[in-house]
Structure 1
Amino acid sequence: MGIDSVIGGLIIGLVIGLLGKLVAPGKQAIPIWLTIVVGVVSAFLGTLVARAFGVEETPRIDWLELLFQVVISAVGVSLAAGFYGKTSRR
């Protein structure tokens, strides 16, 4: 795994995380690093779920796979916002 694949994964994680944050209902007051983490995890989980449903890899953009990733990211962002917001800051 080279530096280009790590940077690519972070960029994809950021995009998926931001799309999930955009789709999730309500306001999510979570930091950008948590959005990236949720996005990266969602990208991997979305790909696994899409493959389990029989979505094949294509040479172009897999819109159905991207849909799975964004939906999982929206759920992840909502959960992360709920857990992150419960920490006390007194």
Structure 2
Amino acid sequence: MDTTYAGYSDWRLPNKNELSSILERRCSGPAINATVFPGIPHSYSFHFWSSSPYAHGSGNAWLVDFGDGGNYRAYRYDSRHVRLVRSGQ
């Protein structure tokens, strides 16, 4: 993946644990603090891909649902959102 944003090119897709760590379970639709983390789409789809593969099916991967805070597997070729992160400096 070659992504440059805000002057950085070391963006990556987080694993499901990293992505789940920014969930705000006391919030719903989206289950995230939208002030701290803007850009969550307010639509029917709150699903964001993680980099974590699903162990029982190579055609699937884990996603995090920012609507209800759950982790679900999905077919890798489904259209979903991504939230890129950078490693700590």
Larger relative helix fraction: 1
TM over 0.5, yes or no? no
Q: Shorter chain as normaliser: what TM range?
A: under 0.3
> How high is the TM-score relative to the length of structure 1?
0.26
